[in-house]
Amino acid sequence: MAPTTQDRVVLLDEAGGETGTAARAAVHTTDTPLHLAFSSYLVDAAGRVLITRRSLSKVAWPGVWTNSCCGHPRPGEDVADAARRRIRQELGLTVRDLRCALPNFRYRATDVTGIVENELCPVFWGRVDPAELQPDPDEVIEHAWVEWPDLVAAVRATPQVFSPWSVSQVPLLEGGPSLTREPGSRSAGHRTVSEFLGDVDRLLRSEVAELQQRWSELTGGAPAEVLPGHLPDWLSEQLSAGGKRLRIRLVHWGHLAAGGDSEPTAYAQLVRLASALEVLHQFALVHDDVMDQSASRRGRPSAYVEATRAHIAAAGRGGAERFGENLAILLGDLAHSLADQLVDPLPAEQRALWYRLCTELIAGQGADLTGAAAGRRDRAHSEQVARLKSSRYSVERLLELGALAAGAGPAQRAALLECGQHLGRIFALRDDFLGVWGDPELTGKPAGDDLAEAKATVILALATDRLTGAAAEALERLGTRDQRPDDVAVVTEALDAAGIRTEIEEMIAAEVSCCDTLLDTAPLTPAGVAGLRAEVRAIAWRDS
């Protein structure tokens, strides 16, 4: 292979198609294009996983702990072959069994230096012999063989000492299924989270491609005007922008906990249901940003901001901001339409619960808006909004839908519903916490946005009851025309001083304890319980 090819990476478009190559040394900048990479987790015969610490000479993320080995395929090189090659070069190890666990993993992260990683990065499991290990000191300065539960705990407790890609990958690897059996193998009767996510992604790509074809027929193949592409193209881009995939995972765990398996017809229905939920979530995000006037989402401009900028760039007629909001609303409407289309073939009981979920989501958003206009800051109102808009939509109904698809009995459904109520409160409380104290680099949204908008949250209700003096006056101005530039900072400082930040953390910890107690005796499958316990902790202490 020519030297010029050996040191080049494969560039990708948003759909994952190859668009060309670039020099590896030059591609990682403050504006890194999407490109192909890989990550690997290597295990020994005892089931321990190898973690490595990046050399201090690395340009980005020097000295952080990470997974076993990462790298980039060369142009024309199979990704698995590239992983084997790089593992041998960097660690001196020969992989005896390499299986892909997360074929569609994608992430974007920014180092403190401003350098960006932007990769479609399949994740592999592999088996190796530790006696062969000979790390390249230019790449690895330390290594350790650790038990998988210990790695999971460490990543959740101290994510700042690990690479951002490993922090995102570890929760998706389903508790390390490859550490107790052959990598990639499947327990009888059910599919892993990674397999389920892959099946959902494949269905979504197929459904969006069909929508794009229908749209092309409607427009006669004419190019889009003002916008870079037609609405289905835009929706495809939004759906591929990443995210935690929380809702898909909860449907999976609800199904598995209730004894669901991979019987072809039932499993196909479950994949369709989870795909619909993913598209519905896109509808909710796009419309929510318009209503809240949030300028960014997942570290990118919100949809209405993108459309506004496109209008300005095209010197379009009429108001650019109004155009941006209108097109974003249409984008959300299209997402909701596609979600309903996905649900249409499902059994009647599943469709009924789906439409109930949709109604609760809209009712919660409506209560949020009207309550804000009416100046509602009481705790009863904030908890009602959180239950409808966050808890039920993001957690409770998803576990219930998964259980329903599994044919769960009354006792199992009751247990999952109760677990979902606790976990839903955890989700809503952490969401409120991040809206005030979250790191914008991780949340993708400006810090203090929820306070600036005087959103109906438990934090706002506690603040209303406890703050006094200048802080109470600043709090009263939030969300009004009288708001001053420093009011959010004043209120945030007062919340800390009043112990509200600590109290929210204690409330979350109490709900986690309730979940654990419930799951100890719930009539659910051991695999499902283990998955739910992991999700409880991932949701409780997430930072985005």
Binding site for Mn(2+): which residues? Answer: 28, 35, 72, 117, 119
The residue count for the chain:
544
Distance CA 304, CA 95 (A): 47
DSSP H/E element including 316: none
The answer to whether 416 and 408 have CB atoms below 8 angstroms apart is yes
- 70 an active-site residue? yes
- Rounded (10°) CA dihedral 412, 418, 421, 423: -70
Of 257, 251, 151, the closest CA to residue 196 belongs to 251
The DSSP bridge pattern shows strands 300-301 and 49-54 to be unpaired
d(CA 257, CA 313): 51
285 vs 247: CA distance, rounded Å: 14
Give 116's strand partners: 110
CA-closest candidate to residue 10, choices 59, 71, 90: 71
The catalytic position among 119, 174, 237, 396 is 119
Residue 114 has φ and ψ, to the nearest 5°, of: 95, -10
**Residues placed in the known binding site:** 28, 35, 72, 90, 117, 119
SS3 162: strand
Nearest to 251 by CA among 375, 123, 420: 420
CB 258 within 8 A of CB 408: yes
Rg (CA), the chain: 24
Q: How wide is the angle at C-alpha 205 spanned by C-alphas 203 and 209, nearest 5°?
A: 120
CB atoms within 10 A of CB 267: 18
- For 480, phi then psi, to 5°, come to -120, 170
User: What is the longest distance spanned by two Cα atoms in the chain?
Assistant: 72
Do strands 97-102 and 123-127 pair parallel, antiparallel, or not at all (unpaired)? antiparallel
Q: Is 111 helix (H, G, I), strand (E, B) or coil?
A: coil
Q: Which element (helix H / strand E) includes 248?
A: helix 246-257
Query: Which one from 69, 70, 514, 515 is the annotated catalytic residue?
Result: 70
DSSP letter assigned to residue 68: S
Measure CA of the first residue to CA of the last residue in the chain; give whole Å: 42
The conformation of residue 172, written as its DSSP 8-state character, comes to G
Q: Is 119 a catalytic residue?
A: yes
Phi then psi dihedrals of residue 343, to 5 deg: -80, -25
Question: Are residues 530 and 515 in contact, defined by beta-carbon separation less than 8 angstroms?
Answer: no
Q: Which residues are annotated as a binding site for Mg(2+)?
A: 90
CA–CA separation, 129 and 338 (whole Å): 49
How many degrees, rounded to 5, is the angle at CA 285 between CA 344 and CA 105? 85
Task: Give the CA angle between residues 40, 43, 45 to the nearest 5°.
Answer: 160
Catalytic residue annotation: 70, 119
